[in-house]
Amino acid sequence: MDVETTNRSVAACRDAPIALPGGMRSVVLLVVLLFVATAAHAAEADLGAKLYAERCSGCHGDDGKGDGPAAAALVPKPRNFRDAAFWQDRKAEDLKAVVHKGKVGTMMPPFAGVLTDAEIDAVVARVETFAPARPATR
């Protein structure tokens, strides 16, 4: 769902001539906004999966294990996103920087100018899904 459609949906709810008791109008608006946000997140997830499959899986593998078809020929080997050690102290901004600029000393190319910032964000979100579950802290 694009921003224009979202804005129209919000305006339609805000301006709707529906008589709702008390704070129900606010509740209805909140439900609509949550639906729109969920749809936007799903669209980003779909985009991230598509871009990862097209641009990343050849080296990093379909499941992010660093075992894509090209991996055997690469030195150093592509990053294994399933490795818990990789995720220690790793932030989304760190991943974005590597996707944007590439990684010197590896075959990881820069995607600045190839992918938009939104597409890079979607790829990073996809890569983050490969992180192993972290133990619950008490």
Tell me, yes or no, whether 123 lies in a domain: yes
Q: Point out which residues pair with 115 in neighbouring strands.
A: 112
Q: How confident is the model at residue 134 (pLDDT cuts 50, 70, 90)?
A: confident
Residue 30 has a pLDDT of 54
Exposure string (b/e) for 92-115, b if CB count within 10 Å is 16 or more? eeebbebbbeeeeeeebeebeeeb
Given this model, what pLDDT does residue 36 score?
A: 47
| Six-digit token string for 27 | 């509740």
Question: 20-33 pLDDT, tens per residue?
Answer: 566 666 665 555 55
Per the structure, the count of domains in the chain is 1
Reported as a single tens digit per residue, the pLDDT across 73-102 is: 999 999 999 999 999 999 999 999 999 999
- What DSSP line would sit under 60-77, residue for residue? H-TTSSS--TTGGG-SSP
* Residues spanned by the domain of 7: 3-128
Within a domain: 138: no
Distances (CA, A) of 87 to 66, 80, 84, 128: 14, 10, 5, 9
